[in-house]
């Protein structure tokens, strides 16, 4: 088979747009996000039924989750404890599942969106610190970051609508990195803002256009997708080291497994692209 090959910094990757087994393509519809766990399984989130597809690293679909209540899933993250958090944008809540797809609890109330500064009003993403604190980008209605303790209680909120430092227009995805910093893709402001865990502005990554998702791999490299469409990579010192295109209209979701392989949840058209490290 003839593969496309490209480079990001000093790394080279092989493009595999048919990574998922053929029977899985029947279920792929309105993909939004992708994540991976410590066991090497790949979780694909979508706004359709089933809302979650789970694959092994070879692309074999091993499970699918259905829940008629989950209709506008935006991003999925797996906590340090192994729970699967699905951020439901238009239901103003976060659904928490175990690895068997059983609903454990809900954070937020679909009938009571938060007012300005209160969780949640069209939330977009969630991230976890090493001590199990949670940070939520909130999102399409609010323009805030919420810090929650491990019990889900609100500790602090920061941000407001605007373009100055510490303000947001559509905080779209969020990451707590290996330096304990909070990185937020500030989509309409064309930047990734970086804060400490108390909400103090530190710096930003720029030269991205409508950044979508963000992920850090085990080696400290930070990956950002945007609406160019492009995938950017920064090293652990926040230095830009490489860029390539994504293979749909844009890559809405992004994850990197323990082998360094990159998975991109493509939108318009739907696709699940694997970029295998050579």
Give domain limits for the chain.
Answer: 4-277
| Spatial CA neighbour of 216 closest among 207, 205, 227 | 205
At CA 42, angle to CA 144 and CA 173, rounded to 5? 15
Cα–Cα dist 172/125, whole Å: 7
The two structure tokens encoding residue 166: 């510490």
Mean pLDDT of the chain: 95
Residue 2 has pLDDT above 70, yes or no: no
pLDDT tier at 246, thresholds 50, 70, 90: confident
The top-level CATH class assigned to 4-277 is mainly beta
Mean pLDDT (whole number) for 72-96: 97
Q: What is the pTM of this model?
A: 0.96
């Amino acid at each position: 088979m003839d593969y496309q090959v490209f480079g990001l910094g000093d790394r080279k990757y092989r493009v595999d747009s048919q990574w998922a087994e053929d029977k899985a393509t029947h279920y792929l519809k309105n993909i939004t996000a992708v994540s991976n766990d410590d066991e090497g399984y790949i979780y694909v989130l979508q706004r359709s039924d089933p809302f979650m597809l789970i694959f092994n690293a070879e692309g074999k679909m091993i499970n699918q989750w259905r829940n008629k209540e989950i209709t506008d899933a935006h991003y999925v993250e797996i906590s340090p404890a192994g729970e699967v958090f699905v951020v439901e944008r238009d239901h103003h809540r976060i659904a928490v599942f175990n690895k068997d797809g059983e609903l454990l609890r809900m954070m937020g109330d679909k009938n009571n969106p938060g007012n300005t500064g209160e969780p949640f009003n069209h939330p977009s993403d969630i991230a976890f610190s090493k001590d199990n604190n949670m940070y939520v980008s909130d999102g399409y209605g609010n323009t805030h970051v919420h810090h929650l303790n491990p019990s889900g209680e609100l500790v602090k909120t920061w941000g407001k609508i605007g373009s100055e430092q510490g303000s947001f227009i559509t905080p779209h995805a969020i990451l707590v990195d290996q330096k304990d910093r909070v990185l937020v893709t500030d989509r309409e402001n064309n930047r990734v803002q970086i804060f400490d865990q108390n909400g103090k502005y530190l710096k930003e990554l720029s030269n991205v256009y409508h950044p979508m998702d963000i992920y850090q791999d085990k080696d400290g490299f930070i990956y950002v997708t945007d609406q160019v469409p492009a995938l950017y990579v920064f090293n652990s010192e926040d230095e830009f080291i490489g860029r390539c295109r994504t293979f749909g209209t844009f890559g809405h979701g992004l994850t990197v497994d323990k082998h360094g392989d990159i998975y991109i949840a493509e939108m318009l058209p739907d696709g699940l692209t694997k970029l295998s490290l050579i």
